[in-house]
Amino acid sequence: MYKSFFHLQSNPFAGSPDPRFLYMMPHTREALATLEYGISAHKGFIVLTGEVGTGKTTLLRRALASLDQSRVFSSFVFNPRLDVIDFLEFILSDFGIIPQNRTKSGMLIQLNRWLIERFRREETCVIIVDEAQNLDWDLLEEIRLLTNLETTSEKLVQIVLSGQPELEEKLRAPDVRQLRQRIALWARTHAITAEQTANYIAQRLLIAGTSERIFSDEAVAAIHRASRGIPRIINLICEHSLILAYVEQLSQVTEPLINAVARDLDLDPQPFMVSTTHNTYSTNSTLPSQKHPGREER
Protein backbone atom coordinates (compact mmCIF):
# COMPACT_ATOMS: atom_id res chain seq x y z
CA MET A 1 0.00 0.00 0.00
CA TYR A 2 2.71 2.50 0.95
CA LYS A 3 5.65 0.98 -0.98
CA SER A 4 5.25 3.01 -4.16
CA PHE A 5 4.57 6.19 -2.17
CA PHE A 6 7.93 5.85 -0.37
CA HIS A 7 9.75 4.34 -3.40
CA LEU A 8 10.25 0.98 -1.72
CA GLN A 9 10.69 -2.33 -3.52
CA SER A 10 9.76 -4.52 -0.54
CA ASN A 11 8.33 -4.19 2.94
CA PRO A 12 11.21 -3.07 5.20
CA PHE A 13 9.51 -3.83 8.50
CA ALA A 14 7.69 -7.11 7.94
CA GLY A 15 7.18 -9.30 10.98
CA SER A 16 8.67 -12.42 9.42
CA PRO A 17 12.26 -13.38 10.40
CA ASP A 18 13.93 -12.55 7.06
CA PRO A 19 17.72 -13.13 7.29
CA ARG A 20 18.30 -10.43 4.62
CA PHE A 21 17.40 -7.75 7.14
CA LEU A 22 19.66 -8.97 9.95
CA TYR A 23 21.49 -5.92 11.32
CA MET A 24 25.01 -6.80 12.44
CA MET A 25 25.64 -5.27 15.85
CA PRO A 26 28.59 -6.41 18.02
CA HIS A 27 26.48 -8.79 20.09
CA THR A 28 24.76 -10.04 16.91
CA ARG A 29 28.09 -10.84 15.27
CA GLU A 30 29.23 -12.69 18.39
CA ALA A 31 26.01 -14.69 18.63
CA LEU A 32 26.07 -15.54 14.91
CA ALA A 33 29.72 -16.59 15.06
CA THR A 34 28.96 -18.77 18.09
CA LEU A 35 26.10 -20.53 16.30
CA GLU A 36 28.03 -21.03 13.07
CA TYR A 37 31.11 -22.32 14.88
CA GLY A 38 29.15 -24.57 17.24
CA ILE A 39 27.23 -26.23 14.41
CA SER A 40 30.09 -26.59 11.93
CA ALA A 41 32.57 -27.79 14.60
CA HIS A 42 30.04 -30.37 15.90
CA LYS A 43 30.08 -29.02 19.47
CA GLY A 44 26.84 -30.79 20.41
CA PHE A 45 24.71 -28.56 22.60
CA ILE A 46 24.33 -24.80 21.98
CA VAL A 47 21.97 -22.41 23.78
CA LEU A 48 20.67 -19.09 22.41
CA THR A 49 18.71 -16.82 24.74
CA GLY A 50 17.29 -13.31 24.59
CA GLU A 51 14.25 -11.22 25.40
CA VAL A 52 11.12 -11.51 23.28
CA GLY A 53 11.56 -9.76 19.93
CA THR A 54 15.35 -9.39 19.95
CA GLY A 55 15.87 -11.39 16.75
CA LYS A 56 16.66 -14.94 17.87
CA THR A 57 14.73 -16.68 15.10
CA THR A 58 16.20 -14.40 12.42
CA LEU A 59 19.66 -15.13 13.79
CA LEU A 60 19.05 -18.89 13.68
CA ARG A 61 17.86 -18.76 10.09
CA ARG A 62 20.86 -16.63 9.10
CA ALA A 63 23.22 -19.12 10.77
CA LEU A 64 21.67 -22.02 8.87
CA ALA A 65 21.73 -20.09 5.59
CA SER A 66 25.45 -19.37 6.00
CA LEU A 67 26.33 -23.07 6.08
CA ASP A 68 26.85 -25.30 3.03
CA GLN A 69 23.26 -26.26 2.24
CA SER A 70 24.35 -29.34 0.31
CA ARG A 71 26.07 -30.78 3.38
CA VAL A 72 23.79 -29.63 6.22
CA PHE A 73 20.48 -31.23 7.21
CA SER A 74 18.31 -29.32 9.67
CA SER A 75 15.14 -29.85 11.64
CA PHE A 76 13.50 -26.66 12.95
CA VAL A 77 11.07 -27.36 15.81
CA PHE A 78 9.05 -24.14 16.15
CA ASN A 79 6.47 -25.54 18.57
CA PRO A 80 8.07 -27.47 21.46
CA ARG A 81 4.75 -28.27 23.18
CA LEU A 82 4.88 -31.87 21.97
CA ASP A 83 5.08 -35.22 23.68
CA VAL A 84 8.17 -37.35 23.09
CA ILE A 85 6.66 -39.49 20.31
CA ASP A 86 5.36 -36.45 18.39
CA PHE A 87 8.71 -34.69 18.86
CA LEU A 88 10.67 -37.61 17.39
CA GLU A 89 8.19 -38.00 14.55
CA PHE A 90 8.46 -34.28 13.74
CA ILE A 91 12.28 -34.46 13.66
CA LEU A 92 12.29 -37.51 11.38
CA SER A 93 9.80 -35.89 9.01
CA ASP A 94 11.76 -32.62 8.95
CA PHE A 95 14.90 -34.56 8.06
CA GLY A 96 12.94 -36.22 5.24
CA ILE A 97 12.78 -39.61 6.96
CA ILE A 98 9.53 -41.59 6.83
CA PRO A 99 9.01 -43.29 10.25
CA GLN A 100 8.80 -47.04 9.82
CA ASN A 101 6.87 -47.45 13.06
CA ARG A 102 5.55 -44.96 15.58
CA THR A 103 7.37 -46.17 18.68
CA LYS A 104 10.05 -44.35 20.61
CA SER A 105 12.61 -47.14 20.27
CA GLY A 106 11.84 -47.67 16.59
CA MET A 107 12.22 -44.00 15.69
CA LEU A 108 15.43 -43.62 17.72
CA ILE A 109 16.98 -46.64 15.98
CA GLN A 110 15.95 -45.24 12.60
CA LEU A 111 17.32 -41.77 13.48
CA ASN A 112 20.60 -43.20 14.74
CA ARG A 113 21.17 -45.23 11.55
CA TRP A 114 20.40 -42.19 9.40
CA LEU A 115 22.76 -39.95 11.43
CA ILE A 116 25.58 -42.52 11.14
CA GLU A 117 25.14 -42.52 7.37
CA ARG A 118 25.31 -38.71 7.29
CA PHE A 119 28.46 -38.86 9.43
CA ARG A 120 30.11 -41.27 7.01
CA ARG A 121 29.41 -38.79 4.23
CA GLU A 122 30.92 -35.97 6.34
CA GLU A 123 27.58 -34.16 6.51
CA THR A 124 26.19 -32.12 9.41
CA CYS A 125 22.81 -32.63 11.10
CA VAL A 126 21.29 -30.01 13.40
CA ILE A 127 18.09 -29.87 15.45
CA ILE A 128 16.89 -26.39 16.42
CA VAL A 129 14.24 -26.06 19.11
CA ASP A 130 12.71 -22.58 19.17
CA GLU A 131 10.76 -21.25 22.18
CA ALA A 132 12.62 -23.85 24.22
CA GLN A 133 11.59 -22.26 27.52
CA ASN A 134 8.24 -24.02 26.92
CA LEU A 135 9.76 -27.51 26.87
CA ASP A 136 8.41 -29.77 29.60
CA TRP A 137 10.90 -31.60 31.81
CA ASP A 138 10.37 -35.03 30.22
CA LEU A 139 11.01 -33.75 26.71
CA LEU A 140 14.02 -31.75 27.88
CA GLU A 141 15.51 -34.95 29.27
CA GLU A 142 14.81 -36.80 26.00
CA ILE A 143 16.61 -34.03 24.11
CA ARG A 144 19.59 -34.45 26.43
CA LEU A 145 19.63 -38.16 25.68
CA LEU A 146 19.85 -37.41 21.95
CA THR A 147 23.40 -36.19 22.58
CA ASN A 148 24.28 -39.81 23.37
CA LEU A 149 24.04 -40.38 19.61
CA GLU A 150 27.75 -39.96 18.99
CA THR A 151 30.93 -41.52 17.72
CA THR A 152 34.14 -41.81 19.72
CA SER A 153 35.23 -38.42 18.36
CA GLU A 154 32.14 -36.21 17.92
CA LYS A 155 28.38 -35.79 18.20
CA LEU A 156 26.22 -37.16 15.40
CA VAL A 157 23.64 -34.40 15.81
CA GLN A 158 24.00 -30.76 16.87
CA ILE A 159 21.22 -29.38 19.07
CA VAL A 160 20.40 -25.68 19.46
CA LEU A 161 17.97 -24.63 22.20
CA SER A 162 16.64 -21.12 21.62
CA GLY A 163 14.40 -19.30 24.06
CA GLN A 164 13.64 -16.41 26.35
CA PRO A 165 15.67 -15.73 29.52
CA GLU A 166 13.39 -18.16 31.36
CA LEU A 167 15.25 -20.91 29.51
CA GLU A 168 18.43 -20.02 31.38
CA GLU A 169 16.55 -20.25 34.66
CA LYS A 170 15.16 -23.63 33.61
CA LEU A 171 18.63 -24.93 32.77
CA ARG A 172 19.86 -23.98 36.26
CA ALA A 173 17.43 -26.43 37.85
CA PRO A 174 19.17 -29.31 39.70
CA ASP A 175 17.12 -31.88 37.76
CA VAL A 176 18.76 -30.90 34.46
CA ARG A 177 22.33 -30.43 35.66
CA GLN A 178 23.49 -33.25 33.35
CA LEU A 179 22.12 -31.33 30.38
CA ARG A 180 23.67 -28.05 31.51
CA GLN A 181 27.07 -29.71 31.82
CA ARG A 182 26.81 -30.74 28.17
CA ILE A 183 26.17 -27.22 26.86
CA ALA A 184 29.31 -26.30 24.92
CA LEU A 185 28.40 -22.75 23.84
CA TRP A 186 26.06 -19.93 24.89
CA ALA A 187 24.88 -17.09 22.65
CA ARG A 188 22.69 -14.13 23.61
CA THR A 189 20.68 -11.38 21.91
CA HIS A 190 19.95 -7.99 23.50
CA ALA A 191 17.93 -4.84 23.04
CA ILE A 192 19.69 -2.15 21.00
CA THR A 193 20.83 1.41 21.76
CA ALA A 194 19.45 4.66 20.32
CA GLU A 195 22.31 4.90 17.80
CA GLN A 196 21.85 1.28 16.79
CA THR A 197 18.12 1.89 16.37
CA ALA A 198 18.83 4.69 13.87
CA ASN A 199 21.24 2.48 11.92
CA TYR A 200 18.84 -0.46 12.12
CA ILE A 201 15.99 1.55 10.56
CA ALA A 202 18.26 3.06 7.89
CA GLN A 203 19.64 -0.34 6.89
CA ARG A 204 16.21 -1.94 6.56
CA LEU A 205 15.03 0.94 4.38
CA LEU A 206 18.15 0.65 2.22
CA ILE A 207 17.65 -3.10 1.73
CA ALA A 208 14.01 -2.39 0.87
CA GLY A 209 15.11 0.00 -1.87
CA THR A 210 15.53 3.56 -0.61
CA SER A 211 18.23 5.72 0.95
CA GLU A 212 15.84 8.59 1.66
CA ARG A 213 15.41 9.83 5.24
CA ILE A 214 11.81 8.75 5.64
CA PHE A 215 12.02 9.03 9.44
CA SER A 216 13.18 12.30 10.99
CA ASP A 217 15.86 12.21 13.70
CA GLU A 218 13.24 13.12 16.29
CA ALA A 219 10.98 10.33 15.02
CA VAL A 220 13.80 7.78 15.33
CA ALA A 221 14.48 8.92 18.90
CA ALA A 222 10.77 8.52 19.69
CA ILE A 223 10.78 5.03 18.16
CA HIS A 224 13.66 4.02 20.40
CA ARG A 225 11.95 5.39 23.49
CA ALA A 226 8.68 3.62 22.75
CA SER A 227 10.27 0.32 21.70
CA ARG A 228 12.90 0.18 24.47
CA GLY A 229 15.28 -0.97 21.74
CA ILE A 230 13.41 -4.22 20.99
CA PRO A 231 13.73 -4.87 17.21
CA ARG A 232 10.32 -6.53 16.85
CA ILE A 233 8.60 -3.52 18.42
CA ILE A 234 10.70 -1.15 16.29
CA ASN A 235 9.38 -2.97 13.23
CA LEU A 236 5.82 -2.77 14.52
CA ILE A 237 6.02 0.98 15.17
CA CYS A 238 7.70 1.69 11.84
CA GLU A 239 5.17 -0.39 9.90
CA HIS A 240 2.20 1.38 11.49
CA SER A 241 3.79 4.81 11.10
CA LEU A 242 4.45 4.28 7.37
CA ILE A 243 0.83 3.28 6.87
CA LEU A 244 -0.37 6.36 8.75
CA ALA A 245 2.05 8.63 6.88
CA TYR A 246 0.77 7.24 3.58
CA VAL A 247 -2.85 7.80 4.60
CA GLU A 248 -2.06 11.41 5.53
CA GLN A 249 0.23 11.81 2.47
CA LEU A 250 3.26 12.80 4.56
CA SER A 251 6.63 12.47 2.82
CA GLN A 252 8.44 12.10 6.17
CA VAL A 253 7.49 10.41 9.44
CA THR A 254 7.63 12.89 12.31
CA GLU A 255 7.85 12.59 16.08
CA PRO A 256 4.18 13.49 16.72
CA LEU A 257 3.14 10.74 14.31
CA ILE A 258 5.34 8.21 16.14
CA ASN A 259 3.87 9.29 19.48
CA ALA A 260 0.37 8.80 18.08
CA VAL A 261 1.28 5.30 16.84
CA ALA A 262 2.85 4.47 20.22
CA ARG A 263 -0.37 5.47 21.98
CA ASP A 264 -2.44 3.38 19.56
CA LEU A 265 -0.20 0.39 20.27
CA ASP A 266 -0.42 1.03 24.02
CA LEU A 267 3.32 1.65 24.32
CA ASP A 268 4.90 3.93 26.91
CA PRO A 269 6.59 6.85 25.08
CA GLN A 270 8.32 8.17 28.23
CA PRO A 271 12.12 8.62 28.10
CA PHE A 272 14.27 5.93 29.67
CA MET A 273 17.89 5.53 30.62
CA VAL A 274 20.27 2.86 29.37
CA SER A 275 23.04 1.52 31.54
CA THR A 276 25.90 0.61 29.20
CA THR A 277 27.55 -1.38 31.97
CA HIS A 278 24.77 -3.88 32.56
CA ASN A 279 22.58 -3.27 29.49
CA THR A 280 19.50 -2.83 31.67
CA TYR A 281 16.73 -0.26 31.35
CA SER A 282 15.36 2.14 33.90
CA THR A 283 11.80 3.20 33.09
CA ASN A 284 8.49 3.86 34.78
CA SER A 285 7.74 0.20 34.12
CA THR A 286 10.69 -2.00 35.01
CA LEU A 287 12.03 -4.41 32.41
CA PRO A 288 13.92 -7.56 33.38
CA SER A 289 17.66 -7.07 33.63
CA GLN A 290 19.90 -9.16 31.40
CA LYS A 291 22.80 -11.16 32.71
CA HIS A 292 25.97 -11.64 30.76
CA PRO A 293 27.68 -14.87 31.74
CA GLY A 294 30.65 -16.05 29.72
CA ARG A 295 30.19 -17.10 26.16
CA GLU A 296 31.37 -20.65 26.65
CA GLU A 297 30.67 -23.00 29.52
CA ARG A 298 33.73 -24.77 30.84
Number of neighbouring beta carbons within 10 Å of residue 181: 10
99 and 200 share one domain: no
Domain range enclosing 90? 26-188
Global pTM?
A: 0.83
pLDDT < 50 stretches in the chain: 272-298
104 and 181 share one domain: yes
35 and 177 share one domain: yes
Question: Can you give the CATH number for the domain in which 222 is found?
Answer: 1.10.8.60
- CA gap 71, 122 in Å, rounded: 8
pLDDT digits (tens, 9 = 90+) for 251-263: 999 999 999 999 9
Q: How many residues does the chain have?
A: 298
Return the exposure string of 108-137: e unless at least 16 CB atoms fall within 10 Å of the residue's CB, then b. bebbeebbeebbeeeebbbbbbbbbbbbee
112 and 205 share one domain: no
pLDDT digits (tens, 9 = 90+) for 228-283: 999 999 999 999 999 999 999 999 999 999 999 999 999 865 654 443 333 433 33
